[in-house]
Structure 1
Amino acid sequence: MTAQFDLVVIDAADIGAVGRFYAALTGWDVVREDADRFGVRAPDGQEVEFQRAPDHVSPRWPGQEFPQQFHLDIQTADPAAQVDRAIALGATHLSDGDDWITLADPAGHPFDLCQKDGVDGVMALFAVTIDAPNASALARFYAAVTGMDLTYDGPEGALLSGGGRNLMFQQVQTYTPPAWPDPSRPQQAHLDLKTDDLDAAEALAHSHGATTLDASSPTFRVLADPAGHPFCLVR
């Protein structure tokens, strides 16, 4: 019994502001807007949600005192042409890479605009990228739990693919894990994994190194992966 990767949920104090930022920047549709969550959906069906966290502490990239933990890799044909527009919408320019540009959204979460030919107009979500002290090991954990395929495993990171979605794992030598729900070491984001059998999916995750943080709800359970990132198994 595996659990299907559903979506990434990113913490923010003002979920409307950050959600509308991504909708305006990428061209993705707003599909959820309530008191606790704001959701956007790319044309291929991938969704990103923003979860209300009133005491959210923003990451301070690139350090590990307040680490990013997660980031989105978003594709567009010409990242440089999108920077001024992103800044006008509320982003901050952080760094330039070989074929990507790193910015921070209005809640302080870094994200990368990555170059891909042919992605004009509406942008594409290439991957949700997760920091890890051992990217290969964490990728293999999520491969076991979700059934996604390990399609790349190298010194700088690893990639899982399945169902038209990608999870990347980025090697961070000075990695500092979250300690949910400690507000001094907060999570910045988490994955929601869907399952028909919470008990079986929880047992599978445990067998590969996860720990349960909260099992009080009949509809979801909060676990931590081997690197300390919380994730939810959702019925």
Structure 2
Amino acid sequence: MTVYVGCPELLGGEDGGTVLANFYLEVLGWQLYDAYGTFFLSRSPKFRIGFDGDGWSDQRPPRWPDPEYPQQIHFDIAVPDLDAAGTRVTSAGGALLQDNADHRVYADPAGHPLCLYPDPAATEPTVARLVYDCFSPRSLAKFYEGFVGVPERLEDSPERVVIDLDDDELPNLAFQHAQCLAPRWPDPAYPAQLHVDYRFTVDHEVPHFQTPAAKAAMARAEELGAIHLQNVVYADPAGHPFCF
């Protein structure tokens, strides 16, 4: 799984991808590397975060909590020490947006929100959940349960659902109720902000999206209600684009 964070071309006079990659490097402490001009942070071979311009729109950058400039998807990050982690975020260029009883909401240097949750069991910052905004959390959760093949829900309410991917190297998927503009990829007036690339197998003999596992996943996604947008780009029933 690769989560791509949309980056402005220039941010404070610097390359946006470089600024955001360095920001998340400070927050997460993962390995940073450059692959063909795109920066990635990696926690394990199964999960990484990439930084590029896809998904970014100067017309409608994220301005949480304004529903006209929605976040669409954000990270929930579990940290061993909330105060220390918050200091790292602001020192790296982030900004505190909201201090709640059980977590804090920050913005990265481009405005993408992220949430910090204290977790006494955590030994290092970990992306615990990838959180999707949508009108009906239970409906969208049902799509992803069928798509990735996991049936267990850690939370289940009309306002919020969390499904368990049952893999310590991957973030769980969460869905929260939000009344905001849905993404309409590739329309820059309705940007996606973040999107996910899925790989179901690794086969170095053929492109990963041409493997039997990927083709089966594409067919399964369409059967569950996804829309094929272009080449290997699909949209889930709430409009969030994802790729193979």
Specify the TM-score bucket, using the shorter chain as the normaliser: 0.7 to 0.9
Give per-residue Cα distances to partners, 1:167-207, cap 9 Å, x unaligned. Answer: 111111x1321111111111101111114334332221111
Q: Give aligned pairs, total.
A: 220
Match of 1:103 among 67, 83, 106: 106
Secondary structure of 1:18's aligned partner? helix
Q: 1:92 to 1:51 in 2, by over 3 A?
A: same
Q: 1:53 to 1:225 in 2, by over 3 A?
A: closer
TM-score by length of structure 2 reads 0.83
For residues 117 and 55 of structure 2, the distance between their equivalents in structure 1, rounded to whole angstroms, comes to: 31
Q: 1:54 to 1:111 in 2, by over 3 A?
A: closer
- The answer to whether 1:116 aligns with 2:119 is yes
Structure 1 runs (4+) greater than 6 angstroms displaced: none
- The answer to whether 1:229 aligns with 2:235 is no
Instruction: Report what 1:136 is aligned to.
Output: 138
Q: Which runs of 5+ in 2 are unaligned?
A: 9-15, 201-210
Return the structure number with greater strand share: 1
For residues 74 and 45 of structure 2, the distance between their equivalents in structure 1, rounded to whole angstroms, comes to: 19
Q: What amino acid is the match of 2:219?
A: A
What RMSD over aligned residues (CA atoms) do the two structures have, in Å?
1.9
- The answer to whether 1:202 aligns with 2:204 is no
For residues 113 and 44 of structure 1, the distance between their equivalents in structure 2, rounded to whole angstroms, comes to: 24
For residues 96 and 127 of structure 1, the distance between their equivalents in structure 2, rounded to whole angstroms, comes to: 19
1:44 CA drift (Å) = 8.9
CA contact (8 A) 2:3 2:196 kept: yes
- The answer to whether 1:65 aligns with 2:68 is yes
Match of 2:194 among 176, 189, 196: 189
Q: What amino acid is the match of 1:21?
A: F
Instruction: Report what 2:176 is aligned to.
Output: 170
1:72 CA drift (Å) = 0.5
For residues 175 and 61 of structure 1, the distance between their equivalents in structure 2, rounded to whole angstroms, comes to: 11
CA contact (8 A) 2:70 2:181 kept: yes
Instruction: Report what 1:88 is aligned to.
Output: 91
Give per-residue Cα distances to partners, 1:106-153, cap 9 Å, x unaligned. Answer: 111000111100434x31111111111111111110111111233232
Secondary structure of 2:24's aligned partner? helix
Instruction: Report what 2:208 is aligned to.
Output: none
Instruction: Report what 1:50 is aligned to.
Output: 51
For residues 213 and 158 of structure 1, the distance between their equivalents in structure 2, rounded to whole angstroms, comes to: 26
For residues 210 and 187 of structure 1, the distance between their equivalents in structure 2, rounded to whole angstroms, comes to: 16
Q: Which runs of 5+ in 1 are unaligned?
A: 1-5, 216-220
CA contact (8 A) 1:42 1:125 kept: no
For residues 176 and 118 of structure 1, the distance between their equivalents in structure 2, rounded to whole angstroms, comes to: 36
Instruction: Report what 1:3 is aligned to.
Output: none
CA contact (8 A) 1:80 1:101 kept: no
Identical pairs, percent: 33
1:18 CA drift (Å) = 0.3
